[in-house]
Amino acid sequence: SYVWPSKYDHLEDLLAMHSGYLRFGFSDLVVPCGFGSGLPGVQNAAEWVRSVFHDIATFDASTGVGGLDASLQFELDRPENVGSAFNNTFAAMYDFITPQSSVSDLLALSLVAALAACDGPKVPLRAGRVDATEAGPAGVPKPEDDLESTRKAFLRAGFNDEDMITMVACGHSLGNVHSVNFPELVSGEATEENVAPFDSSPTNFDNTVVTEYLDDSTSNPLIVGANDTMKSDKRVFGADGNATMSALADPANFQAKCADIFERMLDTVPSTVTLSDPIEIVDVKPYIDPLHLQEDGSVLLQGRVRVRNNPEQKINGDDLEVSLSYRDLSGASISEPVVANRARARGGQSFGFWDNTFTWFEFSQSLNATASIRDFDIHLKTSSSGALLVLDNEGTGGYAVTSDLLYQQPESCLINNGAAMALSVTAALRKDLVDANSPPVLHLAHRVARPGVMLPRLQLETIAFELIPGVEKSGYQYFRANATVEASGWSTTFDIEAGAGTGGKVHRLELLKTNALSDTCGSIS
Ligand code: HEM
């Protein structure tokens, strides 16, 4: 069961919500499943599925090298990786790479989201993939390869004949052959718009690609195209005398077999990688802004609670009152709860895949900085029945709030100097934790551009904070760290950490966003 916070919260956010009050902008790129990316002939969902295949296809099961590791980024000049699909896929990820979401985890997420958007099966998403830093071996099967070498390529990657047939049939349920990439396969002029689908429902994840093959009504260019050498689907689909394809003609079996083979594709990772358990969509998830000291010396506790509307558990956001009961730093329970009000913007609702809907509740309250807050429980009260559900973060003693270390966002800023930017981050640390030998540190994820590669490399820089002398408020001392950030750093992230090296408790405020900063630093008063 889910315990907050999790290092996969960011991935869960990207997967969970694609529209409404809050959405994170990744999954909505495949909603709806069809065209509409703004680029002619481009179906994002199909491109994402194809990208995952081209990344895993070169896995070597005997050595454990390759698999879903985003090495595809460095392999785009190879003839086996023709087309703009792969760069389009990577471009969609640009804003979402963080130290907690590798490109290869985002690739895995993209397949899960694409299938969800196209009415396909729900495929478990595990996380923890590590990105390759250079190209791997070649070997993605090409349409002109003969059956034997195609078989061998799949076998090397750990997939037998039945897996091969299933994987190709499942993949080619979506999308098109593009005349600009394969003019010999698509009749008519080679233009961006001129594409030929694999089946009559390229924007719906269903088994028409199978049934149309079996009843000879198919217009799949890799089966009936003008060029015999290029008829790879024909050779692959018939490789076992149609035994696998006949079984896939049953729609339920098709969905189940595809779910299984896609899961195995996503779990095809270098042997050095350990994957997490599947990421589940969380029922109740708090989002707490880091605390900060206000001018009057109080701290501001601010955030949101996301509640998944769950008919089985009778949780209905429209019939709910949400509050936080909390304990102060001495451990004493505070009788007056923090009330979280139903968010008003866009009806206070977000929408996700698999019919998920979420209702949002917001809170904002000033607290005495000395008593402050140690942790809280979430109370969900059903208005109509009065039934109360108290969540204590799965028996971990509540949802812990960091109050020893504060991120002073109002006194932090990102100033545009032309080519580079100046980042100035202000933090506050409780005075009794200040250790002159171990100041807090800033871990900044630089986005370093790489020639010929779409996505930047994240390079972590650790910068020590400096004490701002003579300023003290409510028992805290202030610190500042300055860094130069490349122009692309307007949308990167940083962490603030204190306590490492002191022998005491380590506090870390994670994934703070540069694009949330204003261009003037408020003065510390
Ligand atoms: C023998 C193996 C395979 C061959 C030779 C092959 C070949 C092709 C070709 C020639 C295209 C057209 C690309 C373009 O014009 O842009 C294509 C598209 C596609 N392939 Fe495959 N493929 C194979 C296996 C797979 C597998 C295993 C998957 C996924 C599980 C997959 C998913 C896709 C998808 C989704 C598209 C449509 C892309 C779009 O609409 O932009 N393919 N494939």
Complex-level ipTM:
0.99
Per the model's pLDDT, the better-predicted residue between 325 and 26 turns out to be: 325
403: nearest Cα among 363, 443, 384, 376: 376
Q: Among 42, 53, 268, name the best residue to mutate to test ligand 1's pocket (greatest count of ligand atoms within 8 A of Cβ).
A: 53
Condensed to tens digits (0 to 9), the pLDDT of residues 395-450 reads 999 999 999 999 999 999 999 887 789 999 999 999 999 999 999 999 999 999 99
- For atom 20 of ligand 1, the residue with the nearest CA is 50
CB 414 within 8 A of CB 519: yes
Map out the domains of the chain with their CATH numbers: 32-266 (1.10.420.10), 284-400 (2.60.40), 405-516 (2.60.40)
Return the ligand 1 atom nearest residue 175 CA.
40
In whole angstroms, what is the distance from residue 453 CA to residue 95 CA? 15
83: nearest Cα among 187, 182, 157, 174: 182
Return the ligand 1 atom nearest residue 143 CA.
5
CB atoms within 10 A of CB 457: 15
CB atoms within 10 A of CB 87: 17
- For atom 30 of ligand 1, the residue with the nearest CA is 171
CA of 453 to the centre of ligand 1 (A): 22
Amino acid at 201: S
Averaged pLDDT for residues 146-155: 98
Ligand 1 pocket residues where CB is under 6 Å: 43, 46-47, 49-50, 53, 83, 85, 141-143, 150, 167-168, 170-172, 174-178, 181-182, 232, 236
In whole angstroms, what is the distance from residue 208 CA to residue 199 CA? 6
Per the model's pLDDT, the better-predicted residue between 502 and 339 turns out to be: 339
Condensed to tens digits (0 to 9), the pLDDT of residues 346-405 reads 889 999 999 999 999 999 999 999 999 999 999 999 999 999 999 999 999 999 999 999
In whole angstroms, what is the distance from residue 190 CA to residue 192 CA? 7
- Burial (Cβ within 10 Å: 0-12, 13-18, ≥19) of residue 189: exposed
- Using pLDDT thresholds of 50, 70 and 90, give the confidence band for residue 37: low
pLDDT(258) > 80:
yes
Portion of the chain with pLDDT greater than 70, in percent: 99
Q: Which residue reads 């349920």 in tokens?
A: 173
CA of 490 to the centre of ligand 1 (A): 36
